[in-house]
Structure 1
Amino acid sequence: MRIGIDLGGTKIEGVVLADSGAPLFRQRVASPSHNYDNIIDAIASMVAQFEREIGRQATVGVGTPGAPSIHSGLMKNANSTVINGKPLKADLEQALNREVRLANDANCFALSEAVDGAGSGQQVVFGVILGTGVGGGLVVDSQPLLGRNFLGGEWGHNPLPGANEHRRCYCGSSDCIETYLCGSGLLRSAKRLNPAIESTHDLAQRAQEGESSALAVIEAYAAALAKALATVINIADPDIIVLGGGLSNIDALYPLLNNQLAGSVFGRECQTSVVKALHGDASGVRGAAWLWPAA
């Protein structure tokens, strides 16, 4: 059996998966996000409770914001800033007295959808999280492609093709894909056309009701997303692209994207489909469990 832990900024979620992928137990607790030691204790406590329930020791995978430094092994780039600079993997292994596998939350999302989600049966799956930020993960033969620098799938911090607004990104660069395609980036663009739009949920509702300004924003967003995804297709040529995160629930995106991708891909032909995640918000924690593949 596999235990998956999704370490977020506001919550810690855990799941026990049977070998079939069926969830046996789930739990969600508030994250003690301002105290690193308490985070370690909370994860260890959750694992112990799960193992009491199943009556045996299980493998443990953890999805995290950020990634370990290639030089020090210490965490970096996590929006849960208390774990930055900390040896998270080593501390969890000491607390649990076993090997623990860690991966970025976007890689966990992509892995979940590749193993038994919307990308099941496909050899190369690119998973995209469109939410507060923009993340990505690349999975090949049901294995996350982490890369030499642990940057596999970090697509959101490449420049958006054709962008010239000089939007500053927290990473220090300008006009990153994330600054246009994350939730706040989309809302910023929406308010230019219609200042009355209050949120991305409001935008989606207005588009569903046929409001012309909202539809125009969604169409422009889909065009930008198609250009950004085309850069991934030109390099990795995935069989399927799976979208997750809050913005993936805008259903109008999918026909637009699947119609526009070919126009941005080299050679102007594209058979890669863009689909919504099957497991939705549960994909991150499920993917953490799947960091331990079937023997």
Structure 2
Amino acid sequence: MLRLGLDIGGTKMEGLLLDAAGNERCRRRIATPQQGYATFIEVVTGFIRGFAEEAGAPFSIGIGLPGAVRSDNGCIKNANCLFLNGHPLKADLEAALGQPVWMANDADCFTLSEALDGAGSGANLVFGVILGTGCGGGIVAHQRLLVGPNAISGEWGHNPLPGYTPQFDGPAQPCYCGRSNCIERFVSGTGFAGRFVERHGRSLSPQGILMAAAEGDAEAQAHYGHFIHALGRSLASVINLLDPDVIVFGGGLSNVASLYEDLPAAITPWLFTDRCLTRLLPARHGDSSGVRGAAWLPQR
């Protein structure tokens, strides 16, 4: 059977049709509608029907989005498309399309894709990490996506930064979630760049900071060093809890080659063991992992 995956982001929506072997049949992108919930339902159903015309055969539908489906009432929560929150998106799409729809957080979809036929293929337990605008995560065990009653499995980015001290880590960082010093505020691309401005009064993109560090800029090098230290502490807490075979990285900062060289030494001092045997790998499917994982949702 064919599989359709949709990756719904804040600005764009991507659809990918896969055959039974996971080969790409068709891929399309459109802008994510911003005119409200009713318009969103109309555009998404039209987008899906366009794939149906081209496929000429039935397909399953999986959707990834930057939010989660509540287990108690089926409504969306924590979505950055704010008009989706509080609505039963899954049920409404199923009613409009007349067929089942599977739905999960986009970081969960990323992790599922990489665990099935990506960098974590063949591993028993894979933890997926998104180092982008935010700091999402997902868990796949024995090729099954783990989803708990609170729909927050893998949300490591909203735990407090382990070992935080103002002397080393700087002033407390308020997070949009209402708490302070969330891991996301230190190791996401947004947090990485924002804290460089706070510490040094210079506005650079994450890529600009990394380029400056490579060129010998002392402030940029120190900032990168703190990033690695904070990320190492944070991932050590994940490893101590889950002991994954593989941690797969996605998002803009996952493209930094030195990350995979520098992290093991930053992780090990915080582990309840003397060596880190967890493999740290960049995503095999890159930006396509989210939409590929969405396509796999009905089988996982």
With normalisation by structure 2, the TM-score equals 0.93
Matched to 1:9, the amino acid is: G
What is the alpha-carbon distance in structure 2 between the residues aligned to residue 69 and residue 271 of structure 1?
35
What is the alpha-carbon distance in structure 2 between the residues aligned to residue 225 and residue 162 of structure 1?
11
What is the alpha-carbon distance in structure 2 between the residues aligned to residue 167 and residue 233 of structure 1?
24
- Give RMSD over aligned pairs: 1.5
Secondary structure of the residue that 2:163 maps to in structure 1? coil
Q: Tell me the residue number matched to 1:184.
A: 190
What is the alpha-carbon distance in structure 2 between the residues aligned to residue 268 and residue 150 of structure 1?
33
Change (3 A) 1:212 1:20: farther
2:128 is aligned with 1:127? yes
Offset at residue 193 of structure 1 (A) = 5.3
Offset at residue 194 of structure 1 (A) = 4.1
Q: Tell me the residue number matched to 1:101.
A: 102
What is the alpha-carbon distance in structure 2 between the residues aligned to residue 209 and residue 281 of structure 1?
28
- Kept after mapping to 2: 8 A contact 1:258/1:273: no
Q: Tell me the residue number matched to 1:257.
A: 263
What is the alpha-carbon distance in structure 2 between the residues aligned to residue 275 and residue 210 of structure 1?
26
Offset at residue 57 of structure 1 (A) = 1.2
What is the alpha-carbon distance in structure 2 between the residues aligned to residue 70 and residue 174 of structure 1?
27
Q: Tell me the residue number matched to 1:40.
A: 41
Q: 1:204-253: per-residue Cα shift (whole Å, max 9, x none)?
A: 22233343332222221111101101111111110000111111122221
What is the alpha-carbon distance in structure 2 between the residues aligned to residue 84 and residue 272 of structure 1?
36
Secondary structure of the residue that 2:269 maps to in structure 1? helix
- Kept after mapping to 2: 8 A contact 1:244/1:280: yes
Alignment of 1:31-180 (within 5 A): 31-164=32-165, 165-180=171-186
What is the alpha-carbon distance in structure 2 between the residues aligned to residue 140 and residue 102 of structure 1?
18
- Kept after mapping to 2: 8 A contact 1:109/1:127: yes
Secondary structure of the residue that 1:134 maps to in structure 2? coil
Matched to 2:245, the amino acid is: D
What is the alpha-carbon distance in structure 2 between the residues aligned to residue 107 and residue 253 of structure 1?
22
What is the alpha-carbon distance in structure 2 between the residues aligned to residue 149 and residue 254 of structure 1?
32
Offset at residue 9 of structure 1 (A) = 0.9
Alignment of 1:216-227 (within 5 A): 216-227=222-233
Q: Tell me the residue number matched to 1:18.
A: 19
What is the alpha-carbon distance in structure 2 between the residues aligned to residue 59 and residue 29 of structure 1?
20
Gaps of 5+ in 2: 166-170
How many residue pairs match? The answer is 294
What is the alpha-carbon distance in structure 1 between the residues aligned to residue 35 and residue 238 of structure 2?
36
Q: Tell me the residue number matched to 1:241.
A: 247
Matched to 1:195, the amino acid is: G
What is the alpha-carbon distance in structure 1 between the residues aligned to residue 216 and residue 147 of structure 2?
42
What is the alpha-carbon distance in structure 2 between the residues aligned to residue 44 and residue 141 of structure 1?
33
Q: Which moved more, 1:194-203 or 1:12-21?
A: 194-203
Secondary structure of the residue that 1:256 maps to in structure 2? helix
Matched to 1:139, the amino acid is: V
Offset at residue 84 of structure 1 (A) = 0.4
Percent identity, please: 47
Matched to 2:16, the amino acid is: V
Q: Which moved more, 1:195-204 or 1:265-274?
A: 195-204
Secondary structure of the residue that 2:297 maps to in structure 1? coil
What is the alpha-carbon distance in structure 2 between the residues aligned to residue 72 and residue 196 of structure 1?
46
What is the alpha-carbon distance in structure 1 between the residues aligned to residue 177 and residue 199 of structure 2?
28
Secondary structure of the residue that 2:29 maps to in structure 1? strand
Matched to 1:186, the amino acid is: F
Matched to 2:279, the amino acid is: S
What is the alpha-carbon distance in structure 1 between the residues aligned to residue 201 and residue 283 of structure 2?
31
Offset at residue 136 of structure 1 (A) = 0.4
What is the alpha-carbon distance in structure 2 between the residues aligned to residue 249 and residue 170 of structure 1?
26
- Kept after mapping to 1: 8 A contact 2:196/2:202: no
Q: Tell me the residue number matched to 1:291.
A: 297
With normalisation by structure 1, the TM-score equals 0.95
